Each structure stands twice: as C-alpha cells, then as structure tokens.
Chain A
Amino acid sequence: MTEATAVMDAPAGELGLAPELADAVVDMWAEDTEKAYVIAPDRILEVLTHLRDGQGYDFLSNLTCVDYEGYGGKLRAGIDARLEVVYNLYSTRRGGGSIALHVRVPEDDTVPSATSVYPGANLQEREVYDLFGVKFDGHPNLRRILLWDGFHGHPMRKDWHEAYYEEDAKPFRSRHPKGEYEFHEDKVPWAKNTTYPAGWDPDSWQEAVAYVPVSQAPQHEDKPHLDTESIVVNLGPHHPSTHGVFRMLTRVEGETILALEPEMGYLHRNHEKIGERNTWLMNMPFTDRLDYLNSMSNNWAYALAVEKLADIEVPERAEYLRVIMAEFSRIVNHAWSIGFILNDLGALQTPALYAIEEREMILDLFEAVSGARMMCNYMRFGGVVRDLPEGWHEQAAYLANERLPRALDELDRLLTENEILMARGRGVGYLSVEDLISLSVSGPMIRAGGLPYDIRKAEPYGIYDRFDFDIPTLPNSDIYDRYYIRLLEARESVRILQQALRDIPEGEILGGRGGYTLRAPEGEVYGRLEAPKGELGFYLASDGKTQPWRYHVRSPSYINLNALGPMSVGYKVADAIVILGAIDIVLGEVDR
C-alpha cells in the first residue's frame, strides 16, 4: 500500500470510528455483496482495538488472505497490491452481522499481527504465513503450521504450481475423451507428486530441527526444593486418542503440563487450492470431507455462502429439509463426541458403542435420501438435490419422536451422574468464557462457559427463526460441562426435528436456475452457520467466472484449538487427552 488515497468520511463514520482514526479507512471494497473497509496497514491495530473496545466486536471470526495476482474482475482495476488480508469481526453479546476489514499487504509482505488485540488470530495468522508468505509483525510464534519447516514456497499463491498441475480451471482438457490418456505419474521422472527447486542437492539436505515448546521454568528460588527437570513428551501423530493424525508436544514436569503446542497438517489435503480450480458446484462434495462426521452441515454452510453471493432463493420445502438434515447430523456429532470423550476418560468403548448405535440409525436415513452414509453431497445452490423417498418421513418421525429422546435419556442416565466422569471432569480444563471468546472459540465450548451465543439465534439463517428451541448454557466451563452441554444440545435438536417434521410443506425442492455451472457475480462474501462444532464459515471471493477466486474455510475445529494450550497448562498429561477430546475436533476440518 504505497499510494495515498483520499480520505473517505462516510466509511469511517459507518464504522463508528473516532475522528482521529478517520484516515485509517483508505478505500471500500466489494460494496455490492458485503461491505468491506480497506484499512491502512499501520493503523489496523488501532482500528481493531477500537472496534473491540468501543463497538463491542469482541469475536475475530475469520482471518485469511487473498492473492489477486491475475485477477480478472473489474472491481480491482488500478490497484497494485497483490495480497490482501481479510478480517471478519462479530459481536457475541449483540449478535448480528459482521464487519469485514481488508488490509493491503505492502511490498515487504509484512503486516502487524492482530494477536495482541485478538489472541485468537494466532493459528489463523500462522496459516496465512504458511500458505501465502505474509509475515505478521509481532506474532509470538510465527512458524509454518500446515506444512513443515523447509517446504519450498507458499502454495496458495496463484503462481505456485504443484507437480501434478494441469490447468487453472476444471474441467481439464486432458480429461476429455479423445482416446488418449496419460498418467500424472508418467510426467514426473520419479513418479510421485513432488517437485524440487532447481539446484537442490538431496545429499546435503539437513532437516529442520523439531520445534520444542518452551515455558517459564518453575521458580524455586526462595524455598528448598528437589532438583527437577522438565522434559518434552510427544503425543501423536499416530496416537489412539488424538482423534486422528494430530500431534501435541508437551513440556512436562513430573506429570504436570508446563506448555503444550499443537502440531497439525498431517491431514492437510489442500481443499483450498483444489477448490479454487473447481467450479462452484464441484466443491460441494469436497465440503463433505471437511468435517466428515457432519457432511450435511458443511454442505449447507457452503450453499449458504454461495446463495448469499449469487442471491439465490431457496424454496420452502428445501429449507425444512436442510434443517432436518442439519439437526440429525448435529445429533450424530454430539452422540459421537460424547462417546469419545468417555473413551478418552477410560470408559473404553461402551458409551461409544451406545452412541454409534444411534448414529447408524440416522446414517440409514442419510443413505436413503442421498445414496451415501457419510459423504452425502445432498445440498445444491438453491435447495437440495433429491426429495425424500417413500417411508423416509415415517422413519424420521419415529426416530425424532420416540427413539432418539429415549436414547439420549439412556446416555444421560448412564453417564451424567457417573462418579468417575464427575471426578475426572469437574474443574478440569477450565478457561473463562472471556478468554475463550478472545481466542475465537465458538460452539458448545463457549455455551458450556455460560454465554448463550448460537448463530441460529444470534444471526438466524435458513428458517431457524420459526422454531421454538432454547440455547442451553452451563456455568462452569470445564470438561464435565462440555460433555453435558452436548447432551442438552442434542435434546434441543430433537425438539427442532419434531417441529420441522410436523410442519414440512409439500412443494419444490430446488430453486434458482439449476444446472451444473454457475457464474457468481463479482464480489466477496462470508457465510457462516452454527455447525455442531462451532462456527463454520466459508469466505468466498468471485471474479465473475465459473470458479471461485478464493475459497476459504473457517473451520471451528481448527480455530477452537487456539484454546488447547491455555486450557491444558497446569493439568496432567492424562487430562490433556480429555481436554482435546472435549474440544471435539475432526482432523479433516482442522487441516483441510
């Protein structure tokens, strides 16, 4: 950002900025879809502080970056800056919509880190550094996060191509049936999906030293003590209780955790890079594979964002079907998560088997309606893809009215008063709800801390404003409450299901223009919903073509991990396992 731009009065006024900050807003961007204010890089911290303290925007929901190299749209004519960092802020106290801020990254690729204002920016800024190479000045721990130290280049930049790169946009010409085909493997001499910089010599390569978490050494100066030494204990990436390929590095003294550092990227499968090559609709099945326990919610979140961008209407029946599917998948998720929190506590398999039994009943419904148990790929822009088959409604009504309430009561009876669960869960993993909010944690975690923030109520989407349901909260913000809040939420989902199945009208299921290709109008949009694990958002930017220009997933599992380190410090290693389990992560969504 080098050129001086005229001061604009109106945007600063809309933001409610103080007069001395008025010159911080240098431009507006994408007014048609969602307002975004372009802030000067050196003023961004002042603006964020002001919005947090003066305007109540206490929740940094989304932080990402867009690379506009080769951007074909009209909106950015005459702008030199290549990279822009995007911030989406919300208020958890007031509810309502977001404020979007852009910062044009200067020539030296450095912008101030937002971690001093919003500690929750930690993981997201590291991701932007890793994938785009934007350096955040003042970040406490700016290392690569999804890839490894020593990886060449920053892969989300538009001019970075992988070994199997063919073209910028799908469908690839090489896939057309001309009778000739070739394998990617044959194009690379070593038959693997790898590429190396010119002149690189593998013989002299030295792998980067593994990062070791540090902490303040315990202070024993004024009293006599035994000489102790803290050691580093590694958990994962292949570990039965990290819920997938996740790694935690802990520094422990005795059994007490002094510092804990999450390591991820072991399931980083490049959703975003692939998503920018796919057409809009092609991304739908990819969203299934984000949080693979809840494909329905992911579908909906993506469809919601695209519908917002392209302004597509959804018919009444489709809205009901979406609510029904999303709430069923919330029950699946919460049952699964309860089962596996107990698994982590040492109640091996019995509660999990109870939970999986109900899950199978719901998956039968999903399979009947979409053809697949897990990867449903059920929603489309403007509705859903198939109507209910015969007998589906009766079976769903049986589940919602009879079987699921009974099953949840059974889990409740089995677990809630359990002495071991109380002993292991009460007071463990405590973090105040204010800290959780500042760490950008969302979903059941903050409701277990007493804050009734649920997007279904705070910024209703779909038809959630028609249903009668409560947002349960619990006061203690510990593992026990995080377990119990999921049971309570599953009960509320059952209530919504009963109403939705009772009221669902007949009619169309797919509005809009239909068809396989969509040309979304130029602009950018951030669409979000309350997924079972927290706020799932899709940040999409379009240059008016058939592919998204930027496709970013704000995944709750990933950002909730901000709280893992602070929550685990001071507890035992065995507790850290459960604390992780109670965050309820899915690695497909963490690493994307």
Chain B
Amino acid sequence: MASLPPNFQQLKQDQLQPFLHDEISVPADLEGNVLITTVDKIYNWSRRSSMWPLLFGLACCAIEMIASAASRYDLSRFGMEVMRPSPRQSDLMIVSGTVTKKMVPAIVRIYNQMAEPRYVVSMGACATGGGPFKEGYNVVSGIDKYIPVDVYVPGCPPTPEALIYGLMKMHEKVDRQSVVSVPWYQKDSSQFVPVPRLGPDIFDPRQVELIKDTTLKAATGAAAANGAAAGGAAAETRGPVELSAKAIARMEEAKRRWRAKQG
C-alpha cells in the first residue's frame, strides 16, 4: 500500500463514509475487511451507478443525448455509457424529443417492456409539455399524459450539461428510495400502462367512457339542432367546452392573486 499516492486511502475512506452504518460497529480485528451498511444504501448505490439508458431517440433532443454520450461530455462517468437498444436490458428511458400521436403507442409499449425498477426522464420542452409544437394535431402535449415521469429537463433542446444535471437529479431520487416502500416490490403494484390506440384521433383506453359520453352527446345534440350534421369539419364535432372544477379553482386563484397584486 505504500506505493499508493498519500491521499488515496483517505479519498477511498471519504467515499465510503456515507455508506457506512453509523450505529453498528465492527470489531477491531475485522475492520478493513468488513463493512456494515444498510441494504437501501448499497442497493441504491449499485442501481444508480449503473443505470443503463434505453437507446431511444425521438427528435432533436436525441442529437444532444448522443452528444452527451460522446467524448466531450462523456456519460460513462456516471456508468451510463452502455445504451441498450432492448428495453428488457435498460433501466432508464430518456424521452428525447417530440412525442407524436403516431409514435406514442410504441413508446408506451416499450415502457411496458422495460423491467422494473424503471425510470423516465422527459428531456426537452416537447416531451415535457408539447413545447413549441403543443397545438399540433399530431403532437402529444407531454409524455406524462401517458406514462409517469421522474425528472423533467427543460430546454429546447437541453444542452448536454442540462441533461447531465437532470440525470444527477435522477440519481438523487434513486438515493432516497427504500426497498421496503418502492412500488415494484409491493403486492399487485406492477401494472401495465394501457397502450393508446389510433382511432380517428388517438385515444387512451382508460378514457373510453369519457370520450363516448362526449361524442354521443354531441351526435344527439347536433341531430336535434339541424337534422343531420354537416360532414367533414372536425371543429363542429368538438364537444361543448366545459371547464373542470380544478381549472375553475385554478383560474379563481390566479384572479385573486392578480387582484391582490394590484392592491
């Protein structure tokens, strides 16, 4: 050990320190051979230190994701350079770019195929909320409409630094988890996200009743109004605009804040 640089052992000790158990002590003759820590710490440490992302690019953000993995930004510092093309082998899905209606069934299917524990990072404005393309007819305004997201990274596209910061936040989140409470070890907690289907427009199988309610009501309403609905124009067939209670509350709150600000 004498050949090591003088501070190396100290460095190693410092790195170990957060993982050591602070109450149970090791007998003096076993020190140096036995470490005592909690299951959570060692489990989380190993998971976050080799979190393999899915090799999965959607749009512009994918180019910055590739740049993050390339030599200048070097994701392998985080044990993440092994991008797996198969969802079965990967732990982390970086949704890197605009999610379109045509693509979202494939994304949900890939998410379902990933083995738990699985995490999702939404990279960029489009994946987070639709971004500049939010109003588009083929654009999903945020991947969190379909699958749960752990970390959102803003930017259009986020720089590699921003992505790496988001991934470090992801690591922090993993560090805080505990094997006794994480959902994937609970009974009956692991469920597939229903895959959206491509109808006249995309629809979520979870919302069939809601959709049916509106479309059928619109059909009877239109029939009552003028006999037969004019074909073609989609705008006419949109249901009546009814704000949800949550939205009304949110607007009231905003009005109240605005008035308070005005004095």
Using a CB–CB cutoff of 8 Å, the interface residues on chain A facing chain B are 146-148, 150-153, 155, 159-166, 179-187, 189-203, 205, 207, 237-240, 244-245, 265-270, 273-274, 285-286, 289, 292-293, 352-353, 356-357, 359-360, 373-375, 587-588, 591
Asked if A191 and B239 make an inter-chain contact with CB atoms under 8 angstroms apart, the answer reads no
Closest 3 CB pairs of A and B: A199-B219, A186-B247, A270-B136
- Tell me whether B63 and A197 are in contact (CB under 8 A): no
Across the interface, do A160 and B233 meet the contact criterion of CB distance under 8 Å? yes
Q: Are A160 and B235 in contact (CB-based, < 8 A)?
A: yes
Residue of chain A at shortest CB distance from B139: A269
Determine the distance from Cα of A587 to Cα of B101 in the docked complex, in whole angstroms. 15
B102's partner among A159, A184, A201, A268 (CB-CB below 8 A) is: A268
What 1/0 flags go to B181-215 for Cβ under 8 Å of A? 00000000000000001111111100110111111
Set of chain B residues within 8 Å of A357, measured between Cβ atoms: 70-72
| A374:B60 contact, CB within 8 angstroms | yes
Please state if B218 and A199 are interface contacts (CB–CB under 8 Å): yes
Please classify the interface of chain A as helix (H, G, I), strand (E, B), loop, or mixed, using the class held by over half of its residues.
Answer: loop
Rounded to whole Å, the gap between the CB of B63 and the closest CB of chain A is 6
The chain B residue with its CB closest to the CB of A242 is B57
Q: Is the CB of A150 within 8 A of B198?
A: yes
Size category of the binding interface on chain B: 35 or more
Q: Which of A240, A245, A352 has the most CB of B within 10 A?
A: A245
* Contact, CB under 8 Å: B234 / A152: yes
Chain B residues near A289 (CB-CB < 8 A): 59-60, 132
Measured CB to CB, the closest approach of chain B to A394, in angstroms, equals 21
B26 contacts partner chain A, Cβ-Cβ < 8 Å = no
With a CB–CB cut-off of 8 A, which chain B residues contact A244? 57-59, 62
- The verdict on B232 contacting chain A, using a C-beta distance below 8 Å, is yes
On whether the beta carbons of B200 and A160 are closer than 8 Å, the reply is no
- Cα distance A185–B246 when bound, in Å? 11
**Residue contact B235 to A268, C-beta cutoff 8 Å:** no
Establish whether residues B137 and A273, one from each chain, have CB atoms under 8 Å apart when the complex forms.
Answer: yes
By the criterion CB–CB under 8 Å, are A184 and B70 in contact? no
12 contacts between A and B (CB under 8 A): A152-B234, A193-B134, A193-B135, A194-B201, A195-B238, A199-B215, A200-B200, A205-B199, A245-B57, A270-B139, A353-B71, A375-B157
B16 at the interface (CB under 8 A from A): no
For chain B residues 19-71, which have a beta carbon within 8 Å of chain A? 55-60, 62-64, 66-67, 70-71
Q: Given the complex, which residues of B lie within 8 Å of A202, measured CB to CB?
A: 199, 203, 208, 211-212, 215
Residue from the set A160, A199, A293, A360 with the largest chain B CB neighbour count within 10 Å = A199
Question: In the complex the two chains form, what is the Cα distance from A375 to B97 in whole Å?
Answer: 14
With A196-B237, A239-B85, A244-B57 given, can you name 15 additional A-B contacts, CB distance below 8 Å? A146-B138, A162-B234, A165-B235, A184-B134, A184-B135, A192-B141, A194-B101, A196-B203, A199-B229, A200-B200, A203-B212, A270-B136, A353-B71, A357-B70, A359-B67
List chain A residues, Cβ under 8 A from B88. Answer: none
A195-B201, A197-B200, A244-B57 are known contacts. Are A203 and B208 too (CB-CB below 8 A)? yes
Query: Is B247 in contact with A161, judged by CB distance below 8 angstroms?
Result: no
Q: Taking the complex as formed, is B156 at the interface, i.e. its CB lies under 8 A from any CB of chain A?
A: yes
Closest CB of chain A to B240's CB: distance in Å? Answer: 9
Residue of A nearest to B201 (CB): A194
A342 to B: closest C-beta gap in Å: 14
| CB–CB A237/B103 < 8 A | yes
- Complex CA gap A180/B60 in Å reads 33
Q: Which residues 230-255 of B have a CB within 8 angstroms of A?
A: 232-239, 241-244, 246-247, 250-251, 254-255
Q: How far is the CA of A179 from the CA of B218 in the complex (A)?
A: 32
Q: CA of A266 to CA of B107 in the docked complex: distance in angstroms?
A: 11
Chain B residues with CB below 8 A from A359, complex form: 67
Asked if B136 and A292 make an inter-chain contact with CB atoms under 8 angstroms apart, the answer reads: no
Q: Report yes or no: B198 in contact with A196, Cβ–Cβ below 8 A.
A: no
Residues of A within 8 A of B208 (CB): 202-203
Within 8 Å by CB of A245, from B58, B101, B141, lies B58
Least CB distance, A375 to chain B, in whole angstroms: 6
If A164-B141, A190-B204 touch, whether A196 touches B215 (CB-CB below 8 Å) is: yes
Which residues of B come within 8 Å of A, CB atoms? 55-60, 62-64, 66-67, 70-72, 85, 97-98, 100-103, 106-107, 110, 126, 130, 132-141, 145, 156-157, 159, 197-204, 207-208, 210-216, 218-219, 221-222, 229, 232-239, 241-244, 246-247, 250-251, 254-255, 258-259, 262
In the bound complex, what is the Cα–Cα distance between A463 and B208 (angstroms)? 58
Q: A379–B252 Cα gap in the complex (Å)? A: 42
Contact B56–A265 (Cβ < 8 Å): no
* B203 touching A198, Cβ below 8 Å: no
Q: Which residues of B have CB within 8 Å of A191?
A: 145
What is the distance, in angstroms, from B137's C-beta to the closest C-beta of chain A?
A: 4
Q: Check if A375 sits within 8 Å of B138, measured CB to CB.
A: no
Interface-central residue, B66, B137, B236, B259, by most chain A CB under 10 Å = B137
Contact B136 A273 (CB under 8 A): yes
For the complex formed, measure the closest distance between the CB of A106 and the CB atoms of chain B, giving whole angstroms.
Answer: 18
Q: Least Cβ distance of B241 to chain A in Å?
A: 5
- Chain A's closest residue to B233 (CB) is A159
Given contacts A179-B254, A192-B204, contact A356 B55 (CB under 8 A): no
Given contacts A150-B198, A265-B138, contact A356 B103 (CB under 8 A): no
B38 CB to nearest chain A CB (Å)? 38
- CB atoms of A269 and B136 under 8 A apart: yes
CB distance from A380 to the nearest CB of B (A): 18
A147 nearest CB neighbor, chain B only:
B138
- Is the pair B135, A197 in contact by a Cβ cutoff of 8 Å? no
Q: Is the CB of A194 within 8 A of B71?
A: no
Closest residue of B by beta carbon distance from A152:
B200
- Tell me if A375 and B156 are in contact (CB < 8 A): yes
